[in-house]
Amino acid sequence: MNTPAETVDTLLHPGWIIPVAPAGQILRNHSLAIRGEQIVAVMPRAESAKLQAAEVFELPDHALLPGLINAHGHAAMSLLRGYADDLSLMPWLEQHIWPAEGRHVSDEFVADGVALAITEMLRAGTTTFSDMYFYPDACARVAQRMGMRCQISFPVLDFPTAWARDADDYISKGLALRDAVKHSHLISVGFGPHAPYTVSHPNLAKVAMLAAELDASIQIHLHETRGEVLQAVEAHGERPLDSLHRLGLLGPRTQCVHMTDLGEQDIALLAETGAQVVHCPQSNMKLASGACPVARLLAAGVNVALGTDSAASNNGLNLFGEMRSAALLAKLTSSDASALSATQALYMATLGGARALGLDEQIGSLETGKLADLIAVDLSGPETQPVYNPVSQLVYACNGSQVTHSWIGGQLRLRERELQGIDLAAITARTEYWQQRITGTQQ
């Protein structure tokens, strides 16, 4: 008597599977099976005959890899893309971005900006993003509706904004959001103290205490420029990283964003505490903020993830561009062509990002039992031919437009470049409305 075939929801037959873990592995003639939210098998194709799938995808020219993880950004600022370009960080913030935000940021602004950002990220292979911005409840609402995985770091500042009055108000509202979404499979919430120069030491200590009690993540802009570090030394007699360590803020749950100005003692402290680093190469280059010493961090055992920062300072949310920029910038700044390999750059955009966000047991690699967050990238075009090494093509030749399919928790979000369940025309119309409102040309 024949044994009934095991049933799965989705069966994928790609040209290559790049699982990311174990490192450097590239699988040919293999298949991947999804049931519910999870990957249930990665197997030689011949063994997949024992499976009966509701839907089968033949993808002979595609590389299948984990969905990319954008470990730092401000999604709603997509509505300010190109608003104030070619300026250094503080004039850009103080004279243009902060005034524009003061006039326009609202629940409605954030909801529309996040929707625009999610469509862009999905089309370029990102399946998880981290967000730090005002009205984080609007971000959570839109990400949940659009089926996008998201870590929200609710902002904490000393001064009032449209969303909150003071640090206590930011924290109170942020913790209420954390409680409201605690059962979500897609949304997680942690603390987002903006930076050491916008949050006082007593309030940073309060964040450290609460985060420890709740076992919550902390994301903070840190050592973004040399000027920031020098000002901190003048004001407090110590470097910002040392201040955070003294206040109890550094640890494996802490995500240190930018980190362009680092000495050997800083790198040793990061390694000792297990803190995470999020590298935003394109934003840092565009604002002339400096370059994160990625190769030195990795050599010291520090985990490094990749982020885009906002579309206002980048001007895109494309992790393929960040991977390429990270690899090239590391080579240039170290005068070492082997400083950051394509394999390492891909790790930073996948499992390194998952580890930074505390999600590495769930996502970031294609392994049995993990959530089915994955993308298929078509390498058949002339831009990516011939394929000697698919990882090199992904990092150095792809621009995101080669992503044809995307799954998040086993749900298909992009099929043959078409977004699923997302009204792109409506999002575009709302974007045009905000552009006219911000520039004062609204009819």
Q: How many domains does the chain have?
A: 2
Q: Residue 149 burial (CB < 10 Å; 0-12/13-18/19+)?
A: buried
Residues 197 and 128 in one domain: yes
Taking only the tens of pLDDT, the chain with its 443 residues reads 345 669 999 999 999 999 999 999 999 999 999 999 999 999 999 999 999 999 999 999 999 999 999 999 999 999 999 998 998 888 888 999 989 999 999 999 999 999 999 999 999 999 999 999 999 999 999 999 999 999 999 999 999 999 999 999 999 999 999 999 999 999 999 999 999 999 999 999 999 999 999 999 999 999 999 999 999 999 999 999 999 999 999 999 999 999 999 999 999 999 999 999 999 999 999 999 999 999 999 999 999 999 999 999 999 999 999 999 999 999 999 999 999 999 999 999 999 999 999 999 999 999 999 999 999 999 999 999 999 999 999 999 999 999 999 999 999 999 999 999 999 999 999 999 999 999 887 55
Contact 409, 372 (CB under 8 A): yes
Contact 156, 174 (CB under 8 A): yes
- Tokens 């030394």 correspond to 233
Quick check: pTM over 0.85? yes
- In sequence order, what are the residues at sequence separation of 6 or more whose Cβ sits closer than 8 angstroms to the Cβ of residue 382? none
Instruction: Give Dmax over CA atoms of the chain in angstroms.
Output: 81
Residues 324 and 397 in one domain: no
Residues 47 and 147 in one domain: no
Residues 206 and 286 in one domain: yes
Q: What is the tally of helices (H) and strands (E) in the chain? A: 16, 17
- Residue 152: give its domain's CATH number: 3.20.20.140
Phi–psi pair at 408, nearest 5 degrees: -125, 120
Residues 23 and 147 in one domain: no
Confidence (pLDDT) at 442:
54
Residues 224 and 315 in one domain: yes
Q: Residue 328 burial (CB < 10 Å; 0-12/13-18/19+)?
A: middle
DSSP state letter for 271: H
Residues 171 and 95 in one domain: yes
Residues 13 and 97 in one domain: no
Q: Is the dihedral of CA 321, 411, 64, 60 positive or negative?
A: negative
Please, how many CA atoms are within 13 Å of residue 417, restricted to the half-sphere of its CB?
4
What whole-number distance in Å separates Cα of residue 233 and Cα of residue 50?
Answer: 64
Contacts 24+ apart (CB under 8 A), 237-241: 239/266, 240/196, 241/266, 241/269, 241/270
Confidence (pLDDT) at 231:
94
Residues 403 and 299 in one domain: no
Confidence (pLDDT) at 1:
37
In 104-113, which positions are buried (b, 16+ CB within 10 angstroms) versus exposed (e)?
bbeeebbbbb
The tokens of 403 are what?
């992503």
Residues 305 and 405 in one domain: no
Confidence (pLDDT) at 4:
61
Confidence (pLDDT) at 440:
83
CB atoms under 10 Å from CB of 152, counted, come to: 27
**Residue 147 falls inside a structural domain:** yes
Domain that holds residue 404: 6-66+370-409
Confidence (pLDDT) at 229:
96
